[in-house]
Amino acid sequence: MMKSLLKTTLFSLLVSFSLAACSDKEMADVNLATTAVQDAGKKTSYDAPTLTGASSTQTSINIKVTAGASGMPAGFSVQWMKAADFAANGNSWLETPSLCNGGFSGNANLSRYNLAAGESVTINIGEFLFDNGASTNCNGALVCGTQYVFRAFAHANSAFTRSGYTGNLTGSTLSCVAAKTCTFSQGYWKTHGPVPVGNNTNTWAVTSLKLGTVSYTDLQLLRIFNTPAQGNGLLALAHQLIAAKLNVAKGADSKVIAPSIVAADALISGKVIPPVGAGYLAPGATSTLITALANYNEGATGPGHCN
């Protein structure tokens, strides 16, 4: 017992003498190392992103999401509700299950949502481009002439916890119009085709369309409509091109969009669109035409979206 006590006392004295012999710099290094070990088990939160409005159509609102100083490698989520419902709830957000939510994962293959510090991406709420990492519980078009409220947060990963919410952003869809030659979005045509959804009827004025130089039956066009783009610019372009051609076939004024339709067909050429074929175009090669066609289908240009 005495021997053990003596050994412990001698060891403590040796440690004290060793520390006393350390320089101030060496002691500082020891303290920093100790702090690092203590902090290693702690997680910090990502910086919240910022939201800014980009543009609107009668059925959708584009939002620009910008990462904070910590970046958003795991992506982010955006939530939204009608401003009238927000006000009726005491200017407060509804509980999460009742909210519309769009998830934009940065971990998906070929995702464009793994943002570095200060990097931005524009997303479309209402007519979702279902590329890699994007999902939502509210995939219907927004209501024309209506104000919405949005907020977002950065996703967590193994190193950081999720961020807090952004400030609220408000944005409005364009006013409703009632033109005889109005247009419908791709979401409408998907549910009013040869296999109608719910209580809808088939309102397609054609039973086939040519995309590029290849002809497709109405059932093949519907299959293309229902295939997520998943990073394939050809599919994303086809979705908007089919909608534009169906709008023109039903009598919508085509003066504004005719050049874009011709350019889209030329770009597609003989490529066979999935799932009918295995054609592919890089998203960067199709983004300008997709925007032009979507603006026409959703009422930002041309005769306006049908009420």
25-53 pLDDT, tens digit per residue, is 444 444 444 444 344 445 799 999 999 98
The confidence score (pLDDT) of residue 42 equals 55
Domain with 199 in it: 186-298
**pTM attached to this predicted model:** 0.64
Cis peptide before 49 (omega within 30 of 0): no
Residue of 149, 146, 182 whose CA lies nearest to 300? 182
Shared domain check, 262 and 165: no
Reduced to 3 states, what is the DSSP secondary structure of residue 127? coil
Shared domain check, 226 and 159: no
The confidence score (pLDDT) of residue 246 equals 97
Shared domain check, 112 and 54: yes
Distance CA 16, CA 28 (A): 16
Residue 8 lies in a domain: no
Contact 189, 225 (CB under 8 A): yes
Domain count, the chain: 2
Last residue of a domain, one of 148, 172, 196: 172
pLDDT in tens, 256-294: 999 999 999 999 999 999 999 999 999 989 999 999 999
Residue with tokens 């295939």: 227
The confidence score (pLDDT) of residue 119 equals 97
Q: Which helix (H) or strand (E) holds 51?
A: strand 50-56
Residue of 167, 169, 157 whose CA lies nearest to 46? 157
Shared domain check, 197 and 255: yes
Flag whether pLDDT at 132 surpasses 90.
Answer: no
Shared domain check, 150 and 107: yes
Q: Which residues contact 186 (CB under 8 A, 6 or more apart)?
A: 127, 225, 239, 240, 242, 243, 297
Shared domain check, 160 and 99: yes
The confidence score (pLDDT) of residue 141 equals 83
